[in-house]
Amino acid sequence: MTPEVHARGKVSAMTDLEHRRPHVRLMRIALQDFRNYAWLQLHLDGRHVCLYGANGAGKTNLMEAVSMLSPGRGLRGAEFTDLIRRDAEGQPARRWALSADVRDGDIDRKLSLSLERDDEGRSKRTARLDGVTTAQNDLGEVMRIIWLTPAMDRVFVGPAGDRRRFLDRQVMAHFPSHGTFGAAYEKAMRQRNALLERGGADPAWLDALELGMASAAAAMATHRVDAVKMMQEAILARPEGAFPKALIDLDGVFETEAANGVALTDIEQEIAAQLRKNRPRDQAAGRTTQGVHRTDLRVIHGPKGLPADQCSTGEQKALLMGLILSNAQALFERDFAPSPLLLLDEAAAHLDSDRRAALYDELTALGGQAWLTGTDHSLFDAFGDRAQRFEVSHGVVQEG
């Protein structure tokens, strides 16, 4: 028998704002052989979704499945083959699949993503939008997804690469093609590094790779600048509250040029020239020493005027939550972009009761839909009837 969880009650908790301005909402999600789920189907009513249960029960696995409906490899960054469920003997299934029904205002959309392995271990990924085969990146044009996970807790005190990955995930919610440019840049950079390491590479071949890197890098720099500008405007427009305002900017040469209005083609040419000039230096270092892959995100605690890495752990978590909420607000205010879905994994557990209540109030004021996880039902009491609650236990999900 197919296990299903149906919504009970009416969507009475929606605010007047939501009625005036429809948002994208997930109304159904189904999983097959995904992580610890042999089969699951949830029917939703459009409210926020709260998942609670013991650690290891499968809450984050379900959130991860939702995150796969956006470009990239989801909130864990896992390889697609790692998502296949394994049986009690550790044998993997032949495929995993997920499908979702999304309500975009008055329009219903159908999204699906799957991975199938043949007898030789080769994998084939398939994405469909309204029944038509498409690229996974195209799913991001229907619903933008942003998330906050426990792994991000130390993003301000970790290496620059952590902040850059956090930044680029926020940027991809505004510009889904940002991930494609990033992948193209990284691939060309690996090829260039390999050629330089071997020595004696054809200069024309290096020129071609560097031109490709320059084109992708200039687009990435421009996307980052535009997204950070929208985020900062949303941060400054927020009222004072439980989550302090941040001042954010980018520490990157080419992002600075983009922010100063330098033309995209001029930035491309400058990047290509820098790569060409740096060939001897990069060959000696065994890596590409300069470029957009070394950009850092700078964050200042606005009320205190302190760099985020000098703030207390609690202040850092509050700053991080404020950044996520502000980016969601920036996305809601864009005229020609779908509204975002927020995934907040274990976020409520790190907040005191006042900040939890403030978070739920902000999510309600934003509109749209958020998914949250926690170990205990009581963490979501302040939501009242503004959210559906589901208990997760060893791959079984029940509303209640």
The one-letter amino acid code at 90 reads G
Beta strand 95-104 with 107-117 is antiparallel
How far apart, in whole angstroms, are the C-alpha atoms of residue 323 and residue 344? 13
How far apart, in whole angstroms, are the C-alpha atoms of residue 114 and residue 68? 10
Q: Are 389 and 65 in contact (CB under 8 A)?
A: no
Helix (H) or strand (E) run with residue 62 in it: helix 59-67
Provide the 8-state DSSP code for 92. Answer: B
How far apart, in whole angstroms, are the C-alpha atoms of residue 250 and residue 301? 15
Provide the 8-state DSSP code for 68. Answer: T
Q: Are 269 and 214 in contact (CB under 8 A)?
A: yes
Structure tokens given for 188:
């060309």
Residues lower than pLDDT 70 in the chain: 1-22
Structure tokens given for 243:
């989550």
Structure tokens given for 70:
């956006």
Give the position of tokens 């995209």.
264
Structure tokens given for 312:
């207390």
Domains of the chain, first to last: 1-142+385-400 (3.40.50.300), 158-313 (1.20.1050.90)
Give the position of tokens 């207390």.
312
Give the position of tokens 């193209």.
184
pLDDT at 22: 57
What angle do helix axes 203-237 and 313-332 make, rounded to 10 degrees?
100
How far apart, in whole angstroms, are the C-alpha atoms of residue 29 and residue 56? 20
Task: Rounding to the nearest 10 degrees, give the CA dihedral for residues 148, 152, 153, 155.
Answer: -130
First-to-last alpha carbon distance for the chain, in angstroms, is 21
Phi, psi of 123 (to 5 degrees): -115, 145
How far apart, in whole angstroms, are the C-alpha atoms of residue 33 and residue 29? 13
How far apart, in whole angstroms, are the C-alpha atoms of residue 389 and residue 400? 6
157-to-40, 170, 292, 325, 349 alpha-carbon distances in Å: 38, 19, 20, 21, 21
Provide the 8-state DSSP code for 336. Answer: T
Helix (H) or strand (E) run with residue 177 in it: helix 177-198
Q: Tell me how far apart the 2 most distant CA atoms of the chain are, in Å.
A: 70
